[in-house]
A and B are shown apart, each in its own frame.
Chain A
Amino acid sequence: GAGVSQSPRYKVTKRGQDVALRCDPISGHVSLYWYRQALGQGPEFLTYFNYEAQQDKSGLPNDRFSAERPEGSISTLTIQRTEQRDSAMYRCASSLGTSGRGTGELFFGEGSRLTVL
């Protein structure tokens, strides 16, 4: 597609349920990133992939959070046994390159707003 696509745009769930958030990056982009953004704050890094390999998952808050990108394109962020503190905007971004100066420009989707009741 023309841009980064995320679904669902809005998700309301009850505490204890599992949720899966989907990200379809720009075609041909090697790197895919997941960020979480609380109201009034900047995006907080969760994890990222180069192709299908998860390069860094140091930002995942705990083991209820996981992400995959099995074919190097679409990615899913899964939150198990959701808690109210998981409520936030979850943003996906993709980029052309992998590392080094001169790369790093991110193209963001519109985000998935998760509300846990």
Chain B
Amino acid sequence: GNSVTQMEGPVTLSEEAFLTINCTYTATGYPSLFWYVQYPGEGLQLLLKATKADDKGSNKGFEATYRKETTSFHLEKGSVQVSDSAVYFCALNDAGKSTFGDGTTLTVKP
């Protein structure tokens, strides 16, 4: 079956530091890939997505590139802010069904 493995947390960074959260996947088909974010006290919301190999999704300064050869979709941001503190979930969608990783908690300190 399909699965998503993401970097274990928690991750603690200082403001303006560089962020990478690793995500790899296994899928039987050719999935679309997503990063969702959950801010404290809120539900999950889409951060960015990529639908085919070599596509780059980007939003709010975050980026991730669909790497089919390494089955990866790592999340990056060049300079994090305190407001980026949240739980980040990597996910894939294959034939209408989404599978999620276990989430990585990011805390950014001023």
Contact = CB atoms under 8 A, between A and B. Distances in A.
A48 B96 contact: yes
Contacts of A104: 32, 34, 93, 96, 98
B98 A41 contact: no
Nearest to B101: A42
Contacts, number: 69
Given A40-B102, A48-B96, A101 B32 contact: yes
A115 to B, nearest CB: 18
A42 B100 contact: yes
Interface residue SS majority, chain A: loop
Contact of B103 (A4, A41, A93, A99): A41
B102 A42 contact: yes
B98 A110 contact: no
Contacts of B98: 33, 43, 45, 104, 106
Interface size class of A (residues with CB under 8 A): 20 to 34
Nearest to A3: B43
A55 B43 CA distance: 24
Contact of A103 (B32, B43, B44, B91): B32
A1 B76 CA distance: 34
Contact of A106 (B4, B46, B102, B103): B46
B99 interface: yes
Contacts of B91: 42
24 contacts: A31-B96, A40-B102, A41-B103, A43-B89, A43-B98, A43-B100, A45-B97, A45-B98, A56-B96, A56-B97, A93-B44, A98-B96, A99-B95, A99-B96, A100-B95, A101-B52, A102-B32, A103-B32, A103-B96, A105-B49, A108-B36, A108-B44, A108-B45, A110-B43
Interface of B: 4, 30-32, 34, 36, 42-46, 49, 51-52, 89, 91, 93, 95-103
Interface of A: 4, 31, 33, 35, 40-45, 48, 50, 55-56, 91, 93, 98-111
